[in-house]
Structure 1
Amino acid sequence: MRDKISSALKDAIKARDARRTGTYRLINAAIKDRDIEARGQGKEPASEQEILQIMQKMVKQREESATVYAENGREELAAQEREEIAVIQEFLPQPLSEDEVQAAIKDAIAETGAEGLRDMGKVVGVLKGKFPGRIDFGQASRFVKAALNG
């Protein structure tokens, strides 16, 4: 993942694409911040999973910012945030559709033998293990709860 980002940064610099260059540099900075924090605690550099989480957090922050900008009539800033989201999402795995999420939840319930809301954590844990970064777990939790209340 780090190599892909570095390579994309080099390509963006060569192409003189200011938006992509800036966004890739922001991604690298966030990853380096995480690495420095981990080093201070005697831990390993950020793993692929942690890099995905960092980028998902960056997307979420930009979505919130774009919404605020749009609500306040700053459409040019909202558009800038949306462009950055598109660049970051190039590195993220494609999210599952709602139907795919529902099917994954049914499979996870069957796999864990979940019978009630007490087993919700088990089901969500299986989903997180099988589909990291591909499911919105806020939404999935509601679906799991509904399925277990059945």
Structure 2
Amino acid sequence: MSLKQRIQDDMKNAMREKNAQRLSAIRLLTAAMKQKEVDERVELTDEHIVAIIDKMLKQRRDSITQYEAAGRQDLADNEKFEMTVLQAYMPTQLSDVEIEAEVVSAIAQVGAAGPQDMGKLMGVLKPKLAGRADMTKVSQLVKVKLAG
């Protein structure tokens, strides 16, 4: 079953269960998917959907930080719930050891020698790890490996 179909089925189930909070989170996702389909005139693949979800998760993390700093725990809790709903559609996350192995492999593949090669390295890593690893962590690890 495609990811798009799974999301549609989950939305129908949330309607049947009258789970308004879950339904709202799924509707946000479907709206973002439809927007991308209309804007780019493409049929979304699972990779496109994972990229959309990844972007939405990053937005939620930023919002949680801001809401907690402003003392709005109610809004932060809502964002956390949306994150758990969205996270269910993401591929299995790689462990730190697996990420490090990918980074070391990419360094050897590209022949990266220092910080000036970070762009080339991230260009190779992003397609491999997108959706399966937090790219912020990957970027930090790349900096450490290239500096050392």
Q: TM-score range with shorter-chain normalisation?
A: 0.7 to 0.9
Q: Match for 1:20: what amino acid?
A: R
Q: Match for 2:136: what amino acid?
A: G
Equivalent runs, 1:117-132 vs 2, <5 Å: 117-132=115-130
Q: Match for 2:33: what amino acid?
A: I
Q: Match for 2:6: what amino acid?
A: K
Q: Report what 1:24 is aligned to.
A: 26
Q: Report what 2:83 is aligned to.
A: 85
- Which structure 1 residue ranges, 4+ long, deviate > 4 Å from structure 2? none
> Which whole-Å CA distance do the structure 2 matches of 1:72 and 1:17 have between them?
28
Answer whether contact 1:62 1:81 (CA < 8 A) is retained.
yes
Deviation at 1:145, TM superposition (A): 2.4
TM-score by length of 1: 0.86
Deviation at 1:79, TM superposition (A): 0.8
> Which whole-Å CA distance do the structure 2 matches of 1:122 and 1:25 have between them?
37
Equivalent runs, 1:67-78 vs 2, <5 Å: 67-78=65-76
- How many aligned residue pairs are there? 146
Q: Report what 1:64 is aligned to.
A: 62
> Which whole-Å CA distance do the structure 2 matches of 1:69 and 1:54 have between them?
22
> Could you tell me the percent identity over the aligned residues?
39
Deviation at 1:106, TM superposition (A): 0.9
2:12 equivalent among 10, 23, 29: 10
Q: Report what 2:37 is aligned to.
A: 35
Q: Report what 2:113 is aligned to.
A: 115
Q: Per the alignment, do residues 72 and 148 of structure 1 end up closer, same or farther by CA in structure 2, a change over 3 Å counting?
A: closer
3-state SS, counterpart of residue 68 of structure 1: helix
Q: Match for 1:11: what amino acid?
A: N
Q: Report what 2:138 is aligned to.
A: 140
> Which whole-Å CA distance do the structure 2 matches of 1:74 and 1:149 have between them?
39
Q: After the TM superposition, which of the residue ranges 133-142 and 19-28 deviates more from structure 2?
A: 133-142
> Which whole-Å CA distance do the structure 1 matches of 2:81 and 2:36 have between them?
24
Higher relative contact order at CA 8 Å, sep ≥6: structure 1 or structure 2? 2
- Residue 45 (structure 2) pairs with residue 53 (structure 1): no
Q: After the TM superposition, which of the residue ranges 28-37 and 88-97 deviates more from structure 2?
A: 88-97
Q: Match for 2:20: what amino acid?
A: A
Answer whether contact 1:38 1:46 (CA < 8 A) is retained.
no
Structure 2, gaps ≥5 residues long: none
